[in-house]
Chains A and B, each alone.
Chain A
């Protein structure tokens, strides 16, 4: 039987994996629609890179305002 520590680590690993799938990975182009419960939260026609603020700040340089570009659909 799994211990509490093992269950806890399993949750941490699952959370980290989801973070990777949703916030990392290569972005090519195309159309991205992120929906939850049949509600479209974000719809983008990409010639753009979609990123969370935290990721953009970690990878980028300068202020977020300078990196804003493109147009939201």
Chain B
């Protein structure tokens, strides 16, 4: 068995863990604590599939932690430790950075907007761009011109999406503690953005986001409140593996 991490909270309040709270595979959620930080964990098998149900269960435990009236620092799905001692040792080693992150999100929730566009991005569409004006008899040249035209279309699309997200950001700015970078998508969701909002500001956020002035063909779907997944960056001297 290994120790699966769901989230971190501060200060430790073992009395607030609901009786019968379960995590992945129905395993009981337990609390660990070190240096004023509480970790919600459960003992899981060495192999856990990254399936929809697992991700939902992970988030449900985080939501239970939110229901205790504190703001959890949600752990990214998939973090397992050899045992409780290993989990505590890693928390203790990064204590200062984690404590700072917990203070940053204290008393807040994450709200977000999904920008839904009338049409998909050029990169997501299957049709080729119209390159008749630039086509030549040379197939290689034509191919490269096609790529260039498609990239230009995509760049214009991205700029338009970012412009809409910044309009939403402007509309809610007075209500938020922090904003995440605008993210551009390629599917049904043209882009998204998250905001850190105090618990009392959720209703006003919904209203302000819905009032943002958007270009025709765009609308926003407001999501949240949820745990501050987008505001968990912990600045540490760690390397990065880029996984595709």
Binding site for B on A (CB under 8 A): 8-9, 12-13, 15-18, 20-38, 40-42, 44, 46-54, 56, 58-60, 64, 67-70, 72
Given A28-B75, A30-B81: A20 and B240 within 8 A (CB)?
Answer: no
B1-24 CB mask vs A (1 if < 8 Å, else 0) is 010010010000000000000000
Contact of A70 among B47, B51, B55, B239 (CB under 8 A): B239
Main SS of chain A's interface residues? Answer: mixed
Residues in chain B near residue A42, CB distance under 8 A: 243
Q: Is B49 positioned at the interface, with any CB of A under 8 Å from its CB?
A: yes
Most buried by A among B55, B73, B183: B55
Nearest chain B CB to A54 CB, angstrom units: 7
Contact of A13 among B59, B73, B94, B114 (CB under 8 A): B114
Q: Is B192 positioned at the interface, with any CB of A under 8 Å from its CB?
A: yes
B221-238 CB mask vs A (1 if < 8 Å, else 0) is 101001001101110101
User: Using a CB-CB cutoff of 8 Å, which residues 92-108 of chain B contact chain A?
Assistant: 93-94, 98, 101
Binding site for A on B (CB under 8 A): 2, 5, 8, 46-52, 55, 58-59, 73-82, 86-87, 90-91, 93-94, 98, 101, 112, 114, 116, 181, 183, 188-189, 192, 221, 223, 226, 229-230, 232-234, 236, 238-244
Residues in chain B near residue A33, CB distance under 8 A: 46-48, 78, 80
Q: Do B240 and A29 touch (CB < 8 A)?
A: no
Q: Do B59 and A35 touch (CB < 8 A)?
A: no
Nearest chain B CB to A33 CB, angstrom units: 7
Main SS of chain B's interface residues? Answer: mixed
Residues in chain A near residue B49, CB distance under 8 A: 35-38
Q: Do B238 and A53 touch (CB < 8 A)?
A: no
Given A36-B49, A38-B47: A21 and B114 within 8 A (CB)?
Answer: no
Q: Do A53 and B242 touch (CB < 8 A)?
A: yes
CA distance A72 to B239 in the complex (A): 11
List 9 tightest A-B contacts by C-beta distance, closest first: A69-B239, A70-B239, A25-B76, A29-B90, A26-B232, A24-B229, A20-B229, A30-B81, A25-B74
